[in-house]
Structure 1
Amino acid sequence: MTPSATSARRSLDEDLNRAGFYPLLVADVVHDALDERTPLSHLVHLETHIDRNAVHRHITVLVLTEDMLVVTHVDDQQLDEAGEQVMAQISTESVPVSQIRSVVLSYVYAQPQNYQPSDPARELTLSIAWSGGQRLDMGPAGCADPQCDADHGYTGTIVQDDIVIRVSAEADGQQAVLNAKAFARALRKLSTAPAAAPRAPELAGARPRLAGRLTRSHHQR
């Protein structure tokens, strides 16, 4: 393993340890899904949801390599009220970079009238689409007349995405927003790079084409 590959792996493991969500388990799953590929960039996003009876956490890890986007998602579930029996549910998906259809970034800035180039975004939403699947968000339609009570049917928007990650400075810290932006830039750069033209196979023992032309011209005289 090269020094750069070792450094990239160490950086990924450090971010997984910092998240603190079963770091050894998550690291083993992520590295297994990488199949010895070297990470170029990564994004670790931990979310916590609180309902009436329990606290639910789940982590999403995106790792970009030269030819793959590896998506790992892990969440846990308590099997008893005391929380002594816990089960982790894990899924991984390896997406060829060539199949990524779009990378969408949405930003939120506070007080845009006072914006300066050095002002960071308050939050960032990263949407990545690769499968062609679409999500339809529907809602009742209306009109401009506030007194109108007619049925205008429904309206909706079609959104194409396979994964959406929202990072905010208030919840995750400003560095997390910067990290998400850096990852999105790396993914966008790699997924939009022109594909290299395939080289024609060379036959063993074949003569160069120019030499063949000279030989034929010589015999035609």
Structure 2
Amino acid sequence: MEDNDAMTYSAPDGSRLIQDIEKAGFYPQLVTDVVRDSLDGRRPVSHLVQLETHFTNTELHRHITALVLAEDVLHITHVDDQQYDEAGAETVARVSTETVPISQIRSVTLSYAYHQPEKYTPGTPIMELNLAVSWTGTQQLELYPAMCEDPDCQADHGYTGTAASEDVVMRISSEADGQDAVEGAREFARTLRRANVAPLTDSGAQLAQAPQHQGSARPEAPAPRTRFGHRHNGRDTGRTS
């Protein structure tokens, strides 16, 4: 297995990020251009790219999510494709992007799953990993009817469920994505957490740092930009560089 840091380290010129987008094979030129445009000149540090495929009775849907740590921000790109006409002869790609200052991230949550925990030993591979990142505090509700232990009970017991604060959630499993993808996702989460607890710069930002053992010295990160476009209307609010 290759070094985990190498899986998510974007390289100073962003070449590893582009390679992973191309490897996913989902409209790679489109996704690459969208990511580059949204980064707006920031240098990528670490990334996580995941392609998912979903089947329905009559349709096949794919979508790709790219999380990119770039200097003082976390950038999220999501692209999916849909049938444009009833006959399915044409397809439309729908793109959404968001850029969040690292300093505004509220939490980075990792959930693991291990197969046959009774046989666990140090180094046992993770079977499944869920990464949840929250920055707005929005509560995601999952509700379902409450059940009674009495199988003959016909009463309405209301609803039960869970509430989680999360803005982006990614599930990576060794069966679907491979063990390297699981380990890479964990390392990306570690890099994000380190950035999220890093000391604030003079401008009030937090900076993502590439792994220290990549072999060659890294140039100093440029001064962070302290203002960002409005996330709802896309207008520039006077970003300085």
TM-score range, shorter chain: 0.7 to 0.9
Whichever residue aligns with residue 77 of structure 1, its letter is: Q
Equivalent position of 1:192 in the other structure:
197
Q: Point out where structure 1 has 5 or more consecutive residues left out of the alignment.
A: 200-221
- Scaled by the length of structure 2, what TM-score is found? 0.75
Residue 53 (str. 1) matches residue 35 (str. 2): no
Give the letter for the 1:56 counterpart. H
User: Between Structure 1 and Structure 2, whose CA radius of gyration is higher?
Assistant: 1
1:31, distance to aligned residue in structure 2 (A): 0.8
1:10 aligns with 2:5: no
> For residues 140-173 of structure 1, what are the alpha-carbon distances to aligned partners after superposition, in whole Å with 9 as ceiling and x for unaligned?
2245555654433222221110011001111111
Gap regions ≥5 residues in structure 2: 1-8, 205-241
Look up the equivalent residue of 2:80 and give its one-letter code: D
Q: How does 1:13-32 map to 2 (within 5 A)?
A: 13-32=18-37
Residues 111, 131 of structure 1: alpha-carbon distance in 2 compared, 3 angstrom cutoff:
same
> Is structure 2 residue 99 aligned with structure 1 residue 94?
yes
CA distance in 2, matches of 1:67, 1:140: 43
Q: Quote the Cα distance in structure 2 between the aligned partners of 1:110 and 1:5.
A: 31
* Higher relative contact order, chain-length normalized (CA < 8 Å, sep 6+): 2
| Distance in 1 between residues matched to 2:69 and 2:42, nearest whole Å | 9
Paired position in structure 2 for 1:124: 129
Q: Which residue of 1 aligns with 2:183?
A: 178
Q: How far apart in 2 are the matches of 1:6 and 1:186?
A: 14
Once residues 155 and 93 of structure 2 are traced to their aligned partners in structure 1, the CA distance between those partners, rounded to angstroms, is 49
Q: CA deviation at 1:6?
A: 5.7
- Counterpart position of 1:139: 144
Q: How far is the alpha carbon of 1:131 from its aligned partner?
A: 1.0
Aligned counterpart for 1:153 among listed residues 149, 155, 158: 158
